[in-house]
Amino acid sequence: MVSVKKGDDHSSLRKELKRRNAELMIYKEVLKDSLSGTGFSTKMWDFLDILLKAIDADLGMAFLINRDDNELGLVAVKGLLADELKVTTIPFGSGIAAAAASSAEPHLIASLSNDVELFKNMEMLASRSSMAVPLKFRGRVSGVIQLVSTGQGEVYTAEDLDYFVTIADEFREVSEKSYVFSDMNETIEGSESFIDASAKLISTLDAHEVREYAVAAVPGLVAAAAGDLLFLNEEVGEFYFECSPGGGDETCAGDIKIGSGEGVAGWVASHKEPLIINDVSEDGRFEVIADRIRGTSTKSIVCVPVYSGERVLGVLQATDKKNGRFVLKDRKRLEAFAQHISSALGNAALFNALKDRLGDKGQT
């Protein structure tokens, strides 16, 4: 979860909330593009839309590297000045975008007056500042995203560049993981159920509703009898349950607790690895505490970690496959959904922190 220090001001909280919203939109748009089979260029157009909402800019450009010709090719451009841009390729060694591509490092300049190759005959941009961030996929620079500031006299800062890099990293990470959806060989109805469940998470800024929506969606996502979301209370060293309705577990919502090192949840959280067990009676990692309290008899389980950054918040699991066995695509689908849960919870925490801070400000 996100903690807010007393010294944090409203602007930093607002910026972090905008970043979280951008992160959620990245997951939604890249997921949609992956499921519909659209190419990388389409993802770039969608990403520029998200960037221009998250960072003040009048122009956003996406380039892909053409290593055969040692140049960058413009594949997407968005913003107020998009129609003015006439150049479609720029050679390596010319301008901030090419510098970011060749060095594999983000770049920031206070003025575009020297970036003549890309912005020639666009005198209105000469005084604008600009940032360029390389896009690395599988460890290799494949493209560059460049932003040009607004005409309000604002100059991008190192903090703005860090913010830009963070959002670009989110796009890279989600894009790399989008292969999860391309090899599922599942029905259109299944794809739509995933999108619907994810969209419902994004629709609320109430953490309790996020948890309820998430757990209720799990059985339908992987054709399971029930789903659980277990959160780790690090202070007492226990997991507590948020349980799905319809699974015979009305006594949940914190009533069931297990030790942080116990059971499948403890193993997944401590090893930071997903796990599929199709016969729990043959696996010593399964803990029967929850079954005893619920009066159920779990036969199979798939369990994945839920992260906040590098820290494990808890685990998401589904129990008892309705037809057959849990397979790799079930695990991948839960892993992808766990990312959405983490983002939605983070967004809710930031919203509440901002609301509390604004409330405290109003009372002083």
Write the CATH number for 75.
3.30.450.40
- Write down the residue that tokens 């905008």 correspond to: 18
pLDDT at position 247 over 50: no
Same domain for 214 and 162: no
Mean pLDDT estimate for the chain? 76
What is the per-residue pLDDT for 259?
63
Residue 363 counted as domain residue? no
Same domain for 275 and 339: yes
Residue 251 counted as domain residue? yes
User: Contact, 269 vs 314, CB < 8 A?
Assistant: yes
Which residue among 180, 204, 237 closes a domain? Answer: 180
Same domain for 237 and 169: no
Chain segment 85-143, per-residue pLDDT in tens? 766 777 777 788 888 988 999 999 988 876 656 666 666 777 788 999 998 876 778 88
Helix (H) or strand (E) holding 356: helix 328-363
Same domain for 154 and 275: no
What is the per-residue pLDDT for 28?
63
pLDDT at position 69 over 50: yes
Number of domain units in the chain = 2
Higher pLDDT: 98 or 21? It is 98
SS3 205: coil
Higher pLDDT: 10 or 312? It is 312
How far, in Å, CA of 345 to CA of 70, rounded? 43
Looking at 55-59, 342-346, 351-355, which range is the least confident one?
Answer: 351-355
Confidence of residue 177 (pLDDT cuts 50, 70, 90): low
pLDDT at position 194 over 70: yes
Higher pLDDT: 111 or 38? It is 111
What contacts 193, CB < 8 A, 6 or more positions away? 217, 220, 221
What is the per-residue pLDDT for 278?
93
Same domain for 79 and 104: yes
Confidence of residue 3 (pLDDT cuts 50, 70, 90): very low
Which residue type occupies 229? Answer: L
Q: Is 81 left (phi over 0), alpha (psi -120 to 50) or beta?
A: alpha
Same domain for 169 and 211: no
**How far are the Cα atoms of 50, 228, 252 from residue 317, in angstroms, in the given order?**
31, 5, 15
Residue 49 counted as domain residue? yes
Residue 4 counted as domain residue? no
Mean pLDDT for 316-339 is 89
Confidence of residue 50 (pLDDT cuts 50, 70, 90): confident
What contacts 62, CB < 8 A, 6 or more positions away? 44, 45, 47, 48, 74, 75, 76, 77, 143, 144, 145
Mean pLDDT for 221-234 is 86
Residue 364 counted as domain residue? no
* Beta bridge mates, 59: 79, 148
Residue 34 counted as domain residue? yes
Nearest to 158 by CA among 133, 139, 186: 133
**How far are the Cα atoms of 72, 215, 224, 228, 241 from residue 283, in angstroms, in the given order?**
53, 25, 19, 19, 21
pLDDT at position 34 over 60: no
Residue 337 counted as domain residue? yes
Which residue among 152, 180, 208 closes a domain? Answer: 180
Mean pLDDT for 280-305 is 82
Burial of 304 from C-beta contacts in 10 A (0-12 / 13-18 / 19+): buried
Same domain for 139 and 26: yes
Percentage of the residues of the chain whose pLDDT score is greater than 70: 68
Residue 314 counted as domain residue? yes
What is the per-residue pLDDT for 39?
55
Which residue among 123, 156, 180 closes a domain? Answer: 180
Same domain for 291 and 247: yes
What is the per-residue pLDDT for 185?
38
Helix (H) or strand (E) holding 213: helix 207-222
- Write down the residue that tokens 């951008």 correspond to: 22
Neighbours of 253 (CB within 10 A): 15
How far, in Å, CA of 154 to CA of 129, rounded? 8
Beta strand 238-243 pairing with 89-91: unpaired
What is the per-residue pLDDT for 108?
93
Nearest to 65 by CA among 48, 40, 37: 40
Same domain for 142 and 231: no
User: Contact, 176 vs 86, CB < 8 A?
Assistant: no
Domain with 209, as residue range(s), is 188-356
* Beta bridge mates, 316: 229, 304
What is the per-residue pLDDT for 15?
64
pLDDT at position 221 over 50: yes
Same domain for 172 and 311: no
pLDDT at position 11 over 80: no
